[in-house]
C-alpha cells in the first residue's frame, strides 16, 4: 500500500489527507481511472510519435526527390554550358563570315559604281559615234 500511495501522490498529485479519507474501493477506482488516463495519454503520445515519424519519413523522401531534381538541373546546366562552349567557335566563325560578307558587299557596291561609270562612258561614246554616223549619212546624202 505504501508504494501505491507514493505513486498516487507523485502522479495524481493527491495529498495524504485525501488518500486516508478515501475508502479502499474508491481508492482502487481512483487509481485504476488514473492509470487508464495515463495509458490513454501514452497511446496518444505513441500515435503522435508514429505520425511524426511518418511525417519525417515523408519529408526525408521529399528531400531525396528534391536532391535528385537539383542534381538533374545541375546536370542540365552542365550540358548547356558544354553546348554553349561547343557553339562559341561556330559563333566566332559566323561573326567572321558576316564581317567578310560586309566587306564583300562594300566591294560589290564600289564595283557596281565603277561599272556604272564605264557604262555611262560607253553610252556617251556610242552617242558620239551615232552623232558622227548621222553627220556622215547627211554628208553622203548631200
62 falls in which pLDDT band (50, 70, 90)? very high
Domain-embedded: residue 115: no
Whole-number Å distance between alpha carbons of 17 and 33? 20
Q: What is the mean pLDDT of residues 6-19?
A: 50
Burial of residue 16 (CB within 10 Å: 0-12, 13-18, 19+) is exposed
Q: Which residue has the cell 503520445?
A: 45
Q: How many domains does the chain have?
A: 1
Whole-number Å distance between alpha carbons of 49 and 104? 80
Which residues constitute the domain of residue 55? 2-105
Q: Which residue has the cell 498529485?
A: 13
Domain-embedded: residue 25: yes
Domain-embedded: residue 28: yes
Whether residue 12 is predicted with pLDDT greater than 70 in this model: the reply is no
- What pLDDT was estimated at residue 23? 60
Domain-embedded: residue 128: no
17 falls in which pLDDT band (50, 70, 90)? very low
Domain-embedded: residue 94: yes
Say what the pTM is: 0.44
Whole-number Å distance between alpha carbons of 5 and 2? 5
Domain-embedded: residue 9: yes
Q: What is the mean pLDDT of residues 10-28?
A: 57
Domain-embedded: residue 12: yes
Domain-embedded: residue 93: yes
1 falls in which pLDDT band (50, 70, 90)? very low
Amino acid at each position: 500500500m505504501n508504494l501505491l500511495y507514493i505513486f498516487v501522490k507523485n502522479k495524481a498529485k493527491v495529498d495524504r489527507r485525501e488518500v486516508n479519507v478515501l475508502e479502499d474501493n474508491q481508492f482502487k477506482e481512483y487509481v485504476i481511472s488514473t492509470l487508464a488516463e495515463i495509458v490513454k495519454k501514452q497511446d496518444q503520445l505513441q500515435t503522435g510519435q508514429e505520425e511524426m515519424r511518418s511525417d519525417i519519413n515523408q519529408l526525408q523522401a521529399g528531400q531525396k526527390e528534391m536532391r535528385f531534381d537539383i542534381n538533374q538541373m545541375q546536370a542540365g546546366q552542365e550540358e548547356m554550358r558544354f553546348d554553349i562552349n561547343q557553339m562559341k567557335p561556330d559563333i566566332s566563325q559566323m561573326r567572321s563570315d558576316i564581317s567578310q560578307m560586309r566587306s564583300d558587299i562594300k566591294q560589290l557596291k564600289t564595283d557596281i559604281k565603277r561599272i556604272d561609270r564605264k557604262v555611262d562612258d560607253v553610252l556617251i561614246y556610242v552617242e558620239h559615234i551615232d552623232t558622227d554616223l548621222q553627220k556622215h549619212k547627211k554628208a553622203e546624202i548631200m
